[in-house]
């Protein structure tokens, strides 16, 4: 991700050193300090299994010349207990200062209570691209006939849309004021039913859309395997928000990339559907159609760019095709910043049972290692994980659908991955 010049100072600590940046370049020392949030619910279980895997991957790759100096920071229930606050400023500032961090899931109550801490973190740190690669690992049980066809990467806008948190509760003065404004000033008379109403606002900006779509196109340009970028929207209904996302997305493609990017129209009108090897093809699909296309035409899609809510739904649906949320990784990116986190939530009913699959967090760590340029460690981690799954030594979620599997606990699975790296 691009970044303006800055001058990071104060980077040394007694045990490790901070990651800094110079212009567009991330400077990763051999012993970087990496903050992490354990997370709520199953967070403690998956971190206890994943942290040794990260350390073993780095050790395997660099034989002691590199290591991660972990620094725990608090959010969610653990933060409330330790500091009285759910998301202390210190946590946000520590992550901001260290640039690369990882987190487990954080619980968000439905309907009442506090706002999402996950959304707050992404917004406060301006981590505008939630990137979720969905790829199949051999041996994972999947509901699909050809799960290996799934190899997509979702770029989800992370800071706006209905997640911006601009909404008013039914029965409040605020909501009635908004209703009056909408009906009387904006002319939408008799559009909202009488009686209690909740109202939310869905901002989609040109700025937010374009910087996200740029990331998706840049990724495809650098990739040897992902040539198509699909803008996923519901612009047929929400014309000025999701429709605008589509239009601004195409604008970026047409105005900023020259011949490096062509649209699907050009592909068919001028090339009879045969894409040039060195160009990225941008197309768009309506979100409901896309939810079936990922199953019926899985191999035709590569990179998906979309507003926040579509991205949330679609990445879980993609995850189901490669074995479920237990193995679906993700990371949030901003300018010279990365916060890795699994797609799944805190799965509270399994908390403390040492039962769930830590693979999603482990593979989120793989994204973090790649972002740091530690490719060898990222590869070692994937090797260990893939070998363990190949041996049919898996957690409950895979064991229930895999004949002949040996069912492992969360921590046993982590140990097995480490063993398989040696
Ligand atoms: P969830 O925690 O993702 O769990 C839903 C289901 O997915 C689980 O019941 C389980 O299915 C499966 N699953 C999730 N994690 C797994 C793992 N590590 N291994 C194996 N299976 C796993 O979703 P939720 O129950 O809707 O949400 C719980 C809380 O998490 C909510 O407060 C929500 O707001 C929050 N949340 C946080 C984040 C985040 O921190 N980024 C993301 C999503 C949700 P089976 O029971 O069928 O095995």
CB of residue 360 inside a 6 A radius of ligand 1: yes
In the reported structure, the alpha carbon of residue 115 is separated from the centroid of ligand 1 by a whole-number distance in angstroms of: 17
The pairing of beta strand 20-22 with beta strand 25-27: antiparallel
Tokens of 324: 């479920």
> CA-to-CA distance for 115 and 204, rounded, in angstroms?
20
The DSSP-derived string for 247-296 is HHHHHHHHHHSGGGEEEHHHHHHHHTT---TT-EEEEEEEHHHHHHHHHH
pLDDT the model gives residue 11: 45
Fold match flag (1-141+327-422 vs 143-157+204-321): yes
Q: Which residue has the tokens 């937010």?
A: 208
CATH topology of domain 143-157+204-321: Isopropylmalate Dehydrogenase (3.40.718)
Q: Please state whether the predicted TM-score (pTM) of the whole model is above 0.85.
A: yes
From first to last of the 422 residues of the chain, give the pLDDT tens digit: 444 333 344 444 558 999 999 887 899 999 999 999 999 999 999 999 999 999 999 999 999 999 999 999 999 999 999 999 999 999 999 999 999 999 999 998 776 667 789 999 999 999 999 999 999 999 999 999 999 999 999 999 999 999 998 999 999 999 999 999 999 999 998 889 999 999 999 999 999 999 999 999 999 999 989 999 999 999 999 999 999 999 999 999 999 999 999 999 999 999 999 999 889 999 999 999 999 999 999 999 999 999 999 999 999 999 999 999 999 999 999 988 999 999 999 999 999 999 999 999 999 999 999 999 999 999 999 999 999 999 999 999 999 999 999 999 999 999 999 999 97
Q: Specify the CATH class of 1-141+327-422 in words.
A: alpha beta
Question: pLDDT by residue (tens digit) across 336-358?
Answer: 899 999 999 999 999 999 999 99
In the reported structure, the alpha carbon of residue 422 is separated from the centroid of ligand 1 by a whole-number distance in angstroms of: 31
> CA-to-CA distance for 301 and 226, rounded, in angstroms?
8
Q: Are 302 and 264 in contact (CB under 8 A)?
A: no
pLDDT the model gives residue 112: 64
In the reported structure, the alpha carbon of residue 321 is separated from the centroid of ligand 1 by a whole-number distance in angstroms of: 16
CB of residue 341 inside a 6 A radius of ligand 1: yes
CB of residue 123 inside a 6 A radius of ligand 1: no
Nearest Cα to Cα of residue 366 among 150, 112, 57: 57
Q: How buried is residue 135: exposed, middle or buried, by Cβ count under 10 Å (0-12/13-18/19+)?
A: middle
Q: Which of 46, 117, 325 for a ligand 1 pocket mutation test, highest count of atoms within 8 Å of Cβ?
A: 325
Where in the chain are the domains?
1-141+327-422, 143-157+204-321, 167-200
């Amino acid at each position: 991700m691009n970044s303006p010049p800055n001058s990071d100072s104060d980077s040394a600590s007694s045990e490790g050193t901070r990651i800094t940046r110079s212009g567009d370049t991330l400077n990763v020392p051999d012993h970087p300090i990496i903050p992490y949030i354990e997370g709520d619910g199953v967070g403690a279980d998956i971190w206890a299994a994943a942290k040794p895997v990260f350390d073993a991957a780095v050790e395997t790759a660099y034989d002691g010349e590199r290591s991660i100096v972990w620094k725990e920071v608090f959010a969610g229930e653990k933060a409330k207990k330790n500091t009285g606050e759910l998301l202390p400023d210190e946590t946000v500032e520590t992550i901001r200062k260290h640039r690369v961090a990882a987190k487990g899931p954080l619980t968000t109550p439905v309907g009442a209570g506090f706002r999402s801490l996950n959304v707050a973190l992404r917004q406060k740190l301006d981590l505008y691209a939630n990137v979720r690669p969905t790829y199949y690992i051999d041996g994972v049980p999947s509901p699909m006939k050809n799960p290996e066809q799934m190899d997509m990467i979702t770029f989800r806008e992370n800071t706006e849309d209905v997640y911006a948190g601009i909404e008013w509760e039914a029965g409040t003065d605020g909501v009635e004021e908004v209703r009056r404004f909408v009906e009387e000033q904006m002319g939408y008379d008799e559009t909202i039913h009488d009686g209690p109403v909740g109202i939310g606002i869905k901002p989609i900006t040109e700025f937010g859309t374009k910087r996200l779509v740029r990331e998706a196109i840049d990724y495809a340009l650098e990739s040897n395997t992902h040539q198509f970028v699909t803008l996923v929207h519901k612009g047929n209904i929400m014309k000025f928000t999701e429709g605008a996302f589509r239009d601004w997305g195409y604008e970026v493609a047409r105005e900023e990339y020259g011949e490096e990017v062509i649209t699907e129209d050009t592909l068919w009108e001028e090339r009879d559907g045969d894409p040039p090897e060195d160009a990225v093809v941008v197309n768009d699909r309506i979100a409901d159609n896309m939810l079936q296309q990922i199953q019926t035409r899985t191999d035709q899609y590569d990179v998906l760019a979309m507003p926040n809510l579509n991205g949330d739904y679609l990445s879980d649906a993609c995850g189901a095709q490669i074995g479920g949320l237990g193995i679906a990784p993700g990371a949030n990116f901003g300018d010279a910043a990365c916060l890795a986190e699994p797609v799944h939530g805190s799965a509270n009913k399994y908390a403390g049972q040492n039962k769930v699959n830590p693979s999603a967090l482990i593979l989120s760590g793989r994204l973090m290692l790649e972002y740091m340029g530690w490719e060898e460690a990222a590869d070692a981690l994937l090797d260990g994980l893939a070998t363990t799954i190949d041996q049919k030594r898996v957690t409950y979620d895979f064991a229930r659908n895999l004949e002949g599997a040996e069912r492992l606990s969360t921590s046993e699975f982590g140990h097995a991955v480490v063993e398989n790296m040696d």
